[in-house]
Chain A
């Protein structure tokens, strides 16, 4: 069952104001989704695998933040300094144990392997934390800033700032460092990159770890703005997959645009129609887009050959 969390906004004023609020909120939470989606799309671009476990990695990140807060009373954002490296290493482990073993039919088998990994993690999380819904708490989650007529919890602003910082960092890593050049080379042509002396399997492992670390950071922000339990991962992965299909699979900018579009359209639909239908308008947009542009907004035209 999908869980729709109230926007926790005090609503006053006319429809226009409400729509404006929804747009602002959509952009802010879209930034958080961009964190999760950019990891997913990069992993697809570099490794030609579709990581169905991204949804549960997000939730795992949220639970690590939750545990750190409950056990050591660490601030959520400070806790990320532990969460992200831990999840990065965890990603390296998953890549080394399972993903690297897939030799043929990478795309298809990777979906199944990562789904199986997701099931195991979901089971473990459910076993440790039970399936009760929880939410992360901090002063900035409960306090709001007043903008005009509506109140916005600080955490939306902080989470957006976090996304901007991390995504800028990712951009610099991709486009301004030798590692980023290796990564983009591996994305364009794995064989040619290997021939040029790039250690492609190392690049792939690190990319996967980065994807998981970004998902974990997104998970902290998600956990502070929504209630969650282990099965929230299904809702997340369905949204993330749709986002990267819309943006064009493997495209970094496509993932950013797709995330913001999805959340803005969803929140506006929730205001104008009903929260129950918030994903529908976006899904409809996706179907229409796929009819005219099957490769997504910024995707490669013919899709690369296996």
Chain B
């Protein structure tokens, strides 16, 4: 079973690696870059919000900080175009992480409900600063990044694609490592019952803050990728409330607090969103289409795809072995819980 799983994952990875070589149309690879970018950001968001149950609706702050850091470094250090800006991504992530320390410290003083609203409020404060600190951000005029290079039509998206894939793999590795560690168990305990977790010796304060900072670093690097790919940063596009909601929707669609959920959600949702933007972006109809899409997900799949499939799979397996087990119902519940922890 385990060997099948690993083989399947390797096949998926191989598919992801050769995908842009097979479908080399630049329209398709550009959608693929956005998909990887959002999958990485959603995986990062999931490390904090998915594992601890604290919904952050302010991670666009770190996306924006990451994007602006790259843009400013490129401008002030006169970074040449080409591959060098990719090497600055870790710095962008680091700065986003530094911003996350005070913001997280303030926001995490309150419990779940109010936390959501406080993150939104902090987001708007940072957006306001991005608009108004002309000296640093150049206000609503934005900053232009160096043009990557004369890479040609079909090759142009490839470096972004593979860097996006690397970022996603990094986020996934971090997420996997946390999930299978004592630290991750502590985060999940916070999600289930924070007071009890505290009573059992989980240092809830530092656990939450460190997860918050870690997820900010990953989201910040996605922001840097966005900035270099699109080539310019504006406050309204990198400090964007729609980014927050999109990331949350991706994770909810795929499966909240699961490893594979953010990727599945991104693969399904982001291409659809890109197509909607391209088709209806000129009128207000794209907003109606987004809203309707989000409502459908929320009302019909609030559990997410991965947990729903798991429940179906486990109850199917249980129904086959029910005849053998006397206390089927009880052990089935345990099996559901145990397997959910795994994925």
Using CB atoms and an 8 Å cutoff, list the residues of chain A in contact with chain B: 1-2, 48, 50, 98, 101-102, 104-105, 107-109, 111-113, 115-127, 131, 230, 234, 238, 241-242, 244-245, 249, 276-277, 279-280, 283, 286-287, 290-291, 294-296, 299, 302-303, 306
Tell whether A120 pairs with B288 under 8 Å between CB atoms, given A98-B295, A290-B106: yes
CB-based contact A290/B110 at 8 Å: yes
Residues of A within 8 A of B284 (CB): 122-127, 131, 230
A295 to B115, CA, bound (A): 10
Q: Name B69-127 residues within 8 Å CB distance of A.
A: 106, 109-114, 116-118, 120-122, 124-125
B131 nearest in chain A by CB position: A2
Tell whether A98 pairs with B299 under 8 Å between CB atoms, given A1-B236, A115-B294, A122-B287: yes
Distance (whole angstroms) from the CB of B125 to the closest CB of chain A:
5
B299 nearest in chain A by CB position: A101
Residues of B within 8 A of A230 (CB): 284
CB-based contact B57/A111 at 8 Å: yes
Does residue B245 face the partner (Cβ distance < 8 Å to A)? yes
Does residue B232 face the partner (Cβ distance < 8 Å to A)? no
A66 to B292, CA, bound (A): 26
Does residue B291 face the partner (Cβ distance < 8 Å to A)? yes
Interface residues on B, range: 35 or more
Distance (whole angstroms) from the CB of A107 to the closest CB of chain B:
5
A103 nearest in chain B by CB position: B302
Please tell me which one of the listed residues A122, A127, A249, A276 contacts residue B117 in the complex, with CB atoms under 8 A apart. Answer: A249
Does residue B290 face the partner (Cβ distance < 8 Å to A)? yes
A147 to B55, CA, bound (A): 49
CB-based contact B241/A119 at 8 Å: no
A111 to B116, CA, bound (A): 9
Please tell me which one of the listed residues B118, B248, B285 contacts residue A245 in the complex, with CB atoms under 8 A apart. Answer: B118
CB-based contact A123/B285 at 8 Å: yes
Residues of A within 8 A of B287 (CB): 119-120, 122-123, 126
A295 to B109, CA, bound (A): 9
Residues of A within 8 A of B302 (CB): 102, 104-105, 109
CB-based contact A294/B114 at 8 Å: yes
Residues of A within 8 A of B245 (CB): 112, 115
CB-based contact A234/B128 at 8 Å: no
Please tell me which one of the listed residues A117, A123, A234 contacts residue B241 in the complex, with CB atoms under 8 A apart. Answer: A234
CB-based contact A123/B291 at 8 Å: yes
Please tell me which one of the listed residues A120, A241, A277 contacts residue B292 in the complex, with CB atoms under 8 A apart. Answer: A120
Distance (whole angstroms) from the CB of B293 to the closest CB of chain A:
8
Distance (whole angstroms) from the CB of A186 to the closest CB of chain B:
17
CB-based contact B288/A107 at 8 Å: no
A299 to B284, CA, bound (A): 39
Please tell me which one of the listed residues B120, B291, B294 contacts residue A238 in the complex, with CB atoms under 8 A apart. Answer: B120
Tell whether A118 pairs with B291 under 8 Å between CB atoms, given A127-B285, A294-B110, A306-B112: yes
Does residue B61 face the partner (Cβ distance < 8 Å to A)? no
A48 to B129, CA, bound (A): 31
28 A-B Cβ contacts within 8 A? A1-B131, A50-B113, A50-B116, A98-B299, A102-B298, A107-B112, A108-B55, A111-B55, A112-B294, A113-B295, A118-B291, A120-B292, A122-B284, A122-B287, A124-B284, A127-B283, A131-B284, A234-B241, A238-B121, A238-B124, A241-B117, A280-B132, A290-B110, A290-B118, A291-B106, A294-B114, A295-B114, A303-B113
In the A-B complex, list the 6 residue pairs whose CB atoms are closest, starting with the nearest.
Answer: A126-B284, A123-B287, A119-B291, A120-B291, A123-B288, A116-B294
Tell whether A241 pairs with B121 under 8 Å between CB atoms, given A104-B302, A126-B284, A230-B284: yes
CB-based contact B283/A303 at 8 Å: no
Does residue B249 face the partner (Cβ distance < 8 Å to A)? yes
CB-based contact A112/B248 at 8 Å: yes
A118 to B291, CA, bound (A): 8
Most chain B C-beta atoms within 10 Å of own C-beta, residue among A105, A118, A127, A294: A294
CB-based contact B298/A109 at 8 Å: yes
CB-based contact A295/B110 at 8 Å: yes
B113 nearest in chain A by CB position: A107
Tell whether A241 pairs with B120 under 8 Å between CB atoms, given A112-B249, A276-B132: yes
Most chain B C-beta atoms within 10 Å of own C-beta, residue among A98, A238, A277: A238
A105 nearest in chain B by CB position: B302
Distance (whole angstroms) from the CB of B255 to the closest CB of chain A:
14
CB-based contact A291/B120 at 8 Å: no
Distance (whole angstroms) from the CB of A111 to the closest CB of chain B:
6
Most chain A C-beta atoms within 10 Å of own C-beta, residue among B116, B291, B292: B291
Residues of B within 8 A of A294 (CB): 109-110, 114
Tell whether A119 pairs with B294 under 8 Å between CB atoms, given A245-B121, A277-B132, A286-B121: yes
Most chain B C-beta atoms within 10 Å of own C-beta, residue among A121, A242, A279: A242
Q: Name B283-315 residues within 8 Å CB distance of A.
A: 283-292, 294-295, 298-299, 302
Residues of B within 8 A of A116 (CB): 290-292, 294-295, 298
Does residue B266 face the partner (Cβ distance < 8 Å to A)? no
CB-based contact B288/A279 at 8 Å: no
Distance (whole angstroms) from the CB of A63 to the closest CB of chain B:
13
CB-based contact A290/B120 at 8 Å: no
Most chain A C-beta atoms within 10 Å of own C-beta, residue among B57, B114, B241: B114
Does residue B154 face the partner (Cβ distance < 8 Å to A)? no
B248 nearest in chain A by CB position: A112
CB-based contact B114/A249 at 8 Å: yes
Distance (whole angstroms) from the CB of A270 to the closest CB of chain B:
13
Does residue B252 face the partner (Cβ distance < 8 Å to A)? yes
Residues of A within 8 A of B321 (CB): none
Residues of A within 8 A of B122 (CB): 287
Q: Name B233-273 residues within 8 Å CB distance of A.
A: 236, 241, 245, 248-249, 252
Does residue B331 face the partner (Cβ distance < 8 Å to A)? no
